[in-house]
Amino acid sequence: MRTSILLLSAVLVLAAGAFAQSIDEVKPACAAPGDAVLLKGSGFGASPTVLFGTAEAEILRSSDSRIICRVPEGLAEGPTTIGVGNLDAGFHVLAEGAPAIVHVSTGTATPGMLVFFVGARLKGATARFMDGDKEVSTVELKGGRRAAYLKVPADLAPGTYTIVIANEAGESGPCSPTLVVVEEGEPTLVSIEPAQQLPGRPVLCKGTDLGPVGFCFLTWTDGEGNGLFTYGFTNGYDRVHTWVPWEAEAGATYKVTIDFADGSSTEGTGALEYTVGTPEPPEITELEYDEGPAGSLVTIYGTNLVGSGFAWPTVEFTRGGVSTEAVVYYAFGSYPGGGEGGGHDKGVPNALQGGFGWDGVDQILVEVPPDLADGEYDVTVTVSGQTSDPVTFTVGDLPLTVTSMSPDSQGPWGPEGVVVIEGTGFGVPDYDFIISEGRDAGLAGGDPNGIPFESYFKVKVTWQGAGGDPLEGYVLWHHDREILVIPPGGWEDPLPVGEYTVSVTVEHDDGGTETAGAGTYTVNEKGDGPGHGFPGDPGGVIRNE
């Protein structure tokens, strides 16, 4: 019995997060019943229990290092403790309905400057500027329930003030923010952190009198007087969040100045020099193919092939000292995540990891420049001023071959899907992709009322049955190594049951043609098994009845 009680106690303690190692932060440290509170720490365990005093809180979400929970209803206003397992942290329960603060735009301001707050129940609240116990000034907050702002009274003397946010229900309590009021001066840029940040990565500019709240514009001037530009977010006084221009040259030093929306600038107090960090150079580990005709598509695999921010890699094919830039269809990959430097928090987004199949290897899909003469070329990738070692790609026509055709059968009601024929020597269509700007992008060639690209294709795929003329399939797309084609008749007038010989015919630039067999394609009787119905009807049973 005693053993059972001890075991039960142990289980309960474990469930309560007995191994909690630390509570590092409670955010906000003052909140009202019903508010969500974020605990940061470590060792919270899989199913922590959080107590506000003796009242158990509803856990909204948790991990080993984070808990989001709700302040229990009915708690009295005043100080209490938050307990997780064997650890406690201080907390202050606000009166129900009292304003709560989670963010203040700045801790230092000048008279007349705008300061904004993010929190809860801010609408209609007042801000009392307290010098110790003495109320020096009171202003009304403007704005809404979650975000509101005030202007520091113009006649407020320099000093340190506690701003108590209050409404009819109560006030912000011991979490009331502190604001240091200083006299206005010239915009001055003091530091940019962290040092030697990489192109495209976030940096935090610190200084004083850094313009009014909002956007500002930074000029990064190199040693030759050429300027690069970024925009920044200024908190109105001492912080500007921005990033190193992604075009910035690795290792280069720039003079940085900031211009603000009110016309002020740090130029008057002098530019600050900043040396850009040097990223790891791009490295090509593999080409999808190392040969193919001009105009064909090839994927480049490697590391550091994409830069941070909006850096766009450049791919060049070089022979005999002459370089030709290739069109990049797409590029994706990753760079080391942030977390510091301006509060940036960005790494590999879920979309890339999942939706686009990023597997740790960067990829760039390029078109071999269509005007290249046959021969061997060095392929290089340049990003953020760094160029990879070259790999060799041989430009030249490949022999017509067919290595596979899939699927190679269908049911009597039509093809299961698009037939994919793989091989080489299918030729390059007479169209190309270009990179266009944003909303102006679109189809720049072709008859919008016609079959897309039909006149640009170089291949025909035919199905030859036991009798009659060969029937031509409907080519959806092709490139030098792949053809996507719908068998003749599609689903509207499907091929009769039987066996067909499929052939690929390529039209060469000189007008001549060449044909290769792709194999046998079978149109089965009804009930021949799965995969022979309509698309989306994998059994094909219903329509085969």
Partner 1 sequence: MRRFLAIGAASALALLAGCGGGGGSGGGGEPPLQALDQQSLVVQMDQNGDNELDLVTLDISESPFVILECLYGLPGGDFDDVTDAVKGRAIDPAVSGALATYVGGSMGVADRTELDVTNSNGDPMRVVVFE
Name which position in 45, 200, 473, 487 contacts partner 1 (CB under 8 A).
200
Interaction between residue 417 and partner 1 (CB under 8 A): no
In the block, residue with structure tokens 């603060």: 101
β-bridge partners, 55: 52
Name which position in 174, 227, 349, 496 contacts partner 1 (CB under 8 A).
349
Measured CA to CA, the distance from residue 314 to residue 434 in angstroms comes to 14
Q: Interface with partner 1 by CB under 8 A: which range of 143-151, 177-185, 419-427, 506-514?
A: 143-151
Name which position in 19, 233, 301, 474 contacts partner 1 (CB under 8 A).
233
Interaction between residue 241 and partner 1 (CB under 8 A): yes
Name which position in 50, 113, 166, 276 contacts partner 1 (CB under 8 A).
113
Handedness of CA 536, 537, 538, 543 (dihedral sign): negative
Burial (CB < 10 A; 0-12, 13-18, 19+), residue 117, is buried
Measured CA to CA, the distance from residue 512 to residue 82 in angstroms comes to 83
Distance of CA 59 to the CA centre of its chain: 29
In the block, residue with structure tokens 């149109």: 523
Interaction between residue 526 and partner 1 (CB under 8 A): no
Measured CA to CA, the distance from residue 536 to residue 526 in angstroms comes to 17
Interaction between residue 61 and partner 1 (CB under 8 A): yes
Amino acid letter, 278: T
**Subset of 355-384 contacting partner 1 (CB under 8 A):** 355-356, 370
Measured CA to CA, the distance from residue 173 to residue 450 in angstroms comes to 71
Interaction between residue 100 and partner 1 (CB under 8 A): yes
Interaction between residue 335 and partner 1 (CB under 8 A): yes
Nearer to partner 1, 306 or 504 (CB): 306
Interaction between residue 120 and partner 1 (CB under 8 A): yes
Name which position in 38, 139, 182, 471 contacts partner 1 (CB under 8 A).
38
On the question of a cis peptide bond just before residue 28, with omega within 30 degrees of 0, the verdict is yes
Nearer to partner 1, 207 or 423 (CB): 207
Token pair in block for residue 394: 């041989």
Interaction between residue 439 and partner 1 (CB under 8 A): yes
Amino acid letter, 81: T
Name which position in 8, 10, 76, 146 contacts partner 1 (CB under 8 A).
146
Q: Interface with partner 1 by CB under 8 A: which range of 156-164, 165-173, 309-317, 479-487?
A: 309-317
Nearer to partner 1, 10 or 441 (CB): 441
Name which position in 90, 339, 517, 530 contacts partner 1 (CB under 8 A).
339
**Nearest distance from residue 445's CB to partner 1, in Å?**
3
Interaction between residue 534 and partner 1 (CB under 8 A): no
**Nearest distance from residue 146's CB to partner 1, in Å?**
4
Q: Interface with partner 1 by CB under 8 A: which range of 82-90, 155-163, 389-397, 425-433?
A: 425-433
Residues 6+ apart with CB under 8 A from 536: none
Cβ neighbours around 233 below 10 Å, total: 14
Name which position in 330, 420, 517, 539 contacts partner 1 (CB under 8 A).
330
SS3 state at 352? helix
Name which position in 141, 164, 256, 331 contacts partner 1 (CB under 8 A).
331
β-bridge partners, 203: 242
Name which position in 329, 387, 420, 490 contacts partner 1 (CB under 8 A).
329
Interaction between residue 107 and partner 1 (CB under 8 A): no
Measured CA to CA, the distance from residue 295 to residue 390 in angstroms comes to 20
Interaction between residue 301 and partner 1 (CB under 8 A): no
The number of residues making up the chain comes to: 545
SS3 state at 15? helix
Q: At 541, phi and psi to the nearest 5?
A: -75, -45
Interaction between residue 186 and partner 1 (CB under 8 A): no
Distances (CA, A) of 286 to 4, 302, 385, 393: 62, 7, 21, 11
Interaction between residue 103 and partner 1 (CB under 8 A): yes
Interaction between residue 11 and partner 1 (CB under 8 A): no
Nearest to 219 by CA among 278, 277, 272, 269: 272
Measured CA to CA, the distance from residue 343 to residue 337 in angstroms comes to 12
Number of residues that bind partner 1 (CB under 8 A): 92
Q: Interface with partner 1 by CB under 8 A: which range of 74-82, 141-149, 153-161, 524-532?
A: 141-149
Interaction between residue 118 and partner 1 (CB under 8 A): yes
Interaction between residue 119 and partner 1 (CB under 8 A): yes
Token pair in block for residue 454: 């039909």
Interaction between residue 445 and partner 1 (CB under 8 A): yes
